[in-house]
Structure 1
Amino acid sequence: MARSVQKIGTAITISGLATVFGFSALIMSAFKIISNFGTTTVITVGYSLMGAMLVMPAILKGISRFETDEEMHPLTR
């Protein structure tokens, strides 16, 4: 589990931050609706990024406690 989060975590973090920075450019728009969309999207993607990095590994770890050895993938044993 730790190895998976370590390898995939970098890709998720970089892609999430790139998305946040991309949508943050909309915040400077003169059109109020576009600016609001940028703000909302930056907040939403930020929370999604935190959830992917903090909450999802904990959920997967909790679920894996209920699996038997036969049900587990050979690489996760």
Structure 2
Amino acid sequence: MMQKVTNVSLMAKFNLSGQSRPNVEPKIGIKQTAVYSVFKASVSQSISHTEKDLEEALAKILKYAPDRKGEVGRRLKKPLP
């Protein structure tokens, strides 16, 4: 049976640098892919920014991908206050 892949579950497999932590599933560094080059070029045509601004925004988007709608992520693993 094939597993349904959503945009969010795909985003959760990436991070900016590709660094992984012990006991955590390794992630793919998006900065080393052609997707990052395309993303960087398209964003630079539409808004004024530095590469550092782009990296920070992209890192934040990827960091919180597991918490987005439809995914369980870290959100439900934490006890409610």
Q: TM-score, normalised to structure 2's length?
A: 0.32
Structure with greater Cα Rg:
1
Structure holding more strand per residue: 2
Structure holding more helix per residue: 1
Q: TM-score, normalised to structure 1's length?
A: 0.33
